[in-house]
Structure 1
Amino acid sequence: MNKKIELGILNILKVNRVSEPGLYLISLDEEEVLLPNCYVTKEMQIGSEIEVFIYTDSEDRLVATTLKPYAMKNDFTCLEVVDMAKFGAFLDMGLPKDLLVPKNRQKSTFQVGNRKVIQIVEDENTHRLIGTEKFLLEKSPKNLTKNDEVEILVYIKTPLGFKVVVDNKYEGLIYHNEIFENVNVGDRKKAFVKYIRDDGKLDISLQKIGAKQSDDNQNKVLEKLKENSGELNFTYKSDAEDIKETFEMSKKAFKASLTKLLEENKIELLETSIRLK
């Protein structure tokens, strides 16, 4: 049970009393919050503990809901723009009240129907949940080393590559010339730490590094062959773009995989194709 009621996250609170608009829930420090009738079920009795999300209503009062939003406070997420106003844009976060991204927290153009990558934060002045494109990211990655698997959220395309949020904390970059699969802003993917820079930012790879990557590439070739009756119209001379589209790897990596598979006698090379043995 929560010691105090906390905005923007899931709280476990106890049912304290029944009222006309709903149930009043209480924290260990005896602060109360209303759970409106529309979320109340027969199982909720005085003394029972309930997991709820806390946000503010239209009059800036704390209110509880059993609905779970698409993301919590301090999370990075991709949400759809559902309404516009002079002072900002409203995004659907899975609650009755949409999330405001104020004009002064925007870095790009917002239009209804757009999906935008934002961070959910508590506004210091109003103490409401708002969205922002001006991210608060940690600068010193802790407990991360080369080739560690991480979760990334792609948030912007740049001339160098795609900038990503790593493990909901750090800034990373995937270089264009190291991407061999479809990548779009808003994508969540598993990835790997390639390099930790002196400034704390991360170079990220969508493939494992070194020997592990080589093993993965060989397995990709074998899996594609199995999916296509054991034969594919690819050789060392195949087009780099065709290789990228089919196998999600560079031509150099593909050729290295073929060489290794031939050495291990797992495939045979024909004039215009490769075939499983």
Structure 2
Amino acid sequence: MNKSLGNVITGLVTDINEKAYFIQKDGVTYKLPKTETMDYQLGDTVEGFAYVAMNKDTMLTQEIPAVRVGEFGWATVSETRKDLGVFMDIGLPDKEVVVSLDELPTLKHLWPKKGDRLLITIQVDEKDRMWGKQAPESVFESLSQKGDEGLNNKNITGTAYRLKLVGTYILTSDNYLGFVHPSERKDEPRLGEVVSGRVIGVRSDGILNVSLMPRAHEAISDDAGMLLAILERTPTGSFPYTDKSDANEIRERFGISKAQFKRALGNLMKQRKIVQQDGETRLVEATNEDQK
């Protein structure tokens, strides 16, 4: 087992060709491409990150990744393989590390997708394979700060790092730990998914209670969404119906009651998406264009 892999090491330049320097450490020779580094001479000492590339070359890079053996860092999901796990980009030009399916949720629809992120470290096995290992709870606790009541109703973004039956734990962009109860979300976030929500309370241990549901005035009902879609498809961004229109005409045109129609219009007007004027309902953007 090569104990240097996944670590920053210092070795000696023992050979040079047109494309690379060859660095030796503990009897192992590493290839350092000339494209990424300064000039070295035979006998110089060189520091870099040791790894095995996808083509099996033993490599050294001076672009040191944050994710190393014994060091945790954020890595981005680049690919998912249901038979293996998820491939993580840690910043190496020709190597990704895999977080094994053994570390991922049982339900595969909760696996991270491309672009999601995980806080991981590197573990090297007896066959010199580098694996990504997720950070334990203690690491998230060490990274976090305690919340206070001043955060109530604040908007937050965070990464889902623990999925449990009781709810989802997230680490916010400001390094607060948050908890999302199943009643405060529409769908369960994936592991590694970045979510947006708001603080609805602070626990005695400083963990934020977070809701991923929209505020009441932000929610758009199905009826409101339908009306908005119709307006957006019209050439003028308007239609000749308002909350004063005849109930039969509304039902014939939109398939909903006048009460539903009025509630939907009220919802959209509160969000300043529409206005009613001259017997019409118009998109705010369309009204602004007419005034230019």
Q: TM-score, normalised by structure 2?
A: 0.47
Q: TM-score, normalised by structure 1?
A: 0.49
Report which of the two has the higher share of helix.
2
Highest CA radius of gyration, 1 or 2? 2
